[in-house]
């Protein structure tokens, strides 16, 4: 089950005059390479109050990147403005050793608490939770779907309450609450799937098909490159840095605006085809359904937070992979789109995915010892 570097800019009080929306800029001076990526920051008020109805319109700072593209129609240069942030950007010189020391300490504390309060059967509530859900039905398919449903309601529900929650208790406190509730439920769902993946009714058996294992292994490997870019912001995930709701537009977002959903679909299809039983099918239906809801809910939340800026990104991207590129709405950088993936976060994903594959026996043994 596929899971869930930052760009920020302080707001300045002197930039309050509305700026005209633009699509095209004058040509860049000759000294600048015609394909150079430049960044300009638009300063907009973060929150504007509508006193009549009490609503808030969130207009976050938008990082505007101007990218030069060549047009064949008039033989001239066309400059198109994008409003999203640069995905998976990691600048080593901007990292602070103290922040990563804090992250390491927080990770250790979280894992310790998770083990004592949830995973360890002698002290935690994980087994109690699994047993309670399992009493609803003797069917492992039903239990699998219920576990996914509980996680989906809590995870998506808290995500929908993010704006209100952050206003009440602050960004960091809400992130701790969000992770503290979601993480144990995710662990329970993963462990139950590992332990019961071969239960239920065998629907088909294709494991002896020549070349199928290699094809599905590659598909599963690729699925992890469709992680949502915010997942790479580990310092925000751990609340070391103040968590933000980002509007991404480069990298994997050019292929699909909802990479997490696409990656989950690929992962589910690969595992369902390989295992071929009713429990895996039930897990795939639940997970894909949850992520399809996330497509609608994610767009809704970004539209509320970013308004017209999100609509611009939406018009240049697509939910279906490569659709915006094929129909011409998404213009790939002329200097090489692949460079947006040649970054530390994606190199790390490569290593972690390979490591997770070879660690499968250890993961299965650890899950089995829990008897969930």
CA distance 93 to 318: 33
In a domain, 134, yes or no: no
Nearest residue to 193 via CA among 278, 289, 135: 278
Nearest residue to 41 via CA among 68, 69, 5, 7: 7
Radius of gyration of the chain (CA): 23
| Distances from the Cα of 184 to the Cα of 65, 87, 124, 180, 352, angstroms | 39, 28, 10, 7, 21
Per-residue DSSP letters for 26-54? Answer: PPPPTTS-TT--EEEEE---SEEE-TTT-
In a domain, 87, yes or no: no
Residue 265 contacts residue 291 (beta carbons within 8 Å): yes
Name the DSSP class of 272: H
In a domain, 174, yes or no: no
**Mean pLDDT, 10 residues at a time, the chain of 372 residues:** 38 40 44 39 39 37 39 41 84 93 96 97 96 96 98 97 96 96 97 96 96 96 95 94 95 96 98 97 98 97 96 96 95 87 93 94 93 92
Domain range for 335: 92-97+199-370
In a domain, 262, yes or no: yes
CA distance 282 to 289: 11
CA distance 85 to 44: 15
Instruction: State residue 72's pLDDT score.
Output: 38
CA distance 372 to 367: 8
Helix (H, G, I), strand (E, B) or coil at 333: coil
In a domain, 184, yes or no: no
E strand intervals along the chain: 38-42, 47-49, 56-58, 62-70, 77-82
In a domain, 64, yes or no: no
Q: Which run of H or E residues covers position 167? A: helix 162-169
- What is the count of structural domains for the chain? 1
In a domain, 219, yes or no: yes
Taking each continuous run of H as one helix and of E as one strand, the counts in the chain are: 14, 5
In a domain, 169, yes or no: no
């Amino acid at each position: 089950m596929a899971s869930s570097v930052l760009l920020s800019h302080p707001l300045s009080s002197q930039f309050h005059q509305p700026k005209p929306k633009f699509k095209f800029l004058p040509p860049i001076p000759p000294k600048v390479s015609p394909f150079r990526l430049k960044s300009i920051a638009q300063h907009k008020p973060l929150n504007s109050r509508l006193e009549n109805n009490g609503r808030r319109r969130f207009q976050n700072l938008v990082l505007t990147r101007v990218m030069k593209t060549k047009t064949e129609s008039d033989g001239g240069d066309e400059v198109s403005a994008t409003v999203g942030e640069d995905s998976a950007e990691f600048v080593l010189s901007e990292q602070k050793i103290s922040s990563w020391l804090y992250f390491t300490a927080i990770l250790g504390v979280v894992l310790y608490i998770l083990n004592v309060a949830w995973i360890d059967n002698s002290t935690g509530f994980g087994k109690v939770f699994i047993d309670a859900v399992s009493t609803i039905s003797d069917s492992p398919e039903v239990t699998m779907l219920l576990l996914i449903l509980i996680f989906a309601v809590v995870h998506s529900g808290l995500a929908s309450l993010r704006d209100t929650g952050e206003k009440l208790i602050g960004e960091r406190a809400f992130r701790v609450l969000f992770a503290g509730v979601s993480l144990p439920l995710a662990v329970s769902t993963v462990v139950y799937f590992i332990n019961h993946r071969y239960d239920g009714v065998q629907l088909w058996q294709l494991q002896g098909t020549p070349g199928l294992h290699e094809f599905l292994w590659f598909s599963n490997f690729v699925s992890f490159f469709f992680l949502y870019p915010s997942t790479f912001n580990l310092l925000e995930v751990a609340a070391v840095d103040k968590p933000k709701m980002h509007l991404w537009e480069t990298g994997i977002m050019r292929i699909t605006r909802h990479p997490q959903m696409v990656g989950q679909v690929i992962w589910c299809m690969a595992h369902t085809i390989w295992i071929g039983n009713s429990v895996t099918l039930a897990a795939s239906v639940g997970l894909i359904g949850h992520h399809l809801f996330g497509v609608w809910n994610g767009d809704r939340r970004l539209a509320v937070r970013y308004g017209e800026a999100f609509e611009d990104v939406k018009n240049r991207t697509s939910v279906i992979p490569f659709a915006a590129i094929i129909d011409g709405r998404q213009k790939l950088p002329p200097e090489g789109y692949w460079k947006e993936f040649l970054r530390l976060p994606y190199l790390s994903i490569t290593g972690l995915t390979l490591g997770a594959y070879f660690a499968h026996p250890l993961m299965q043994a650890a899950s089995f010892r829990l008897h969930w």
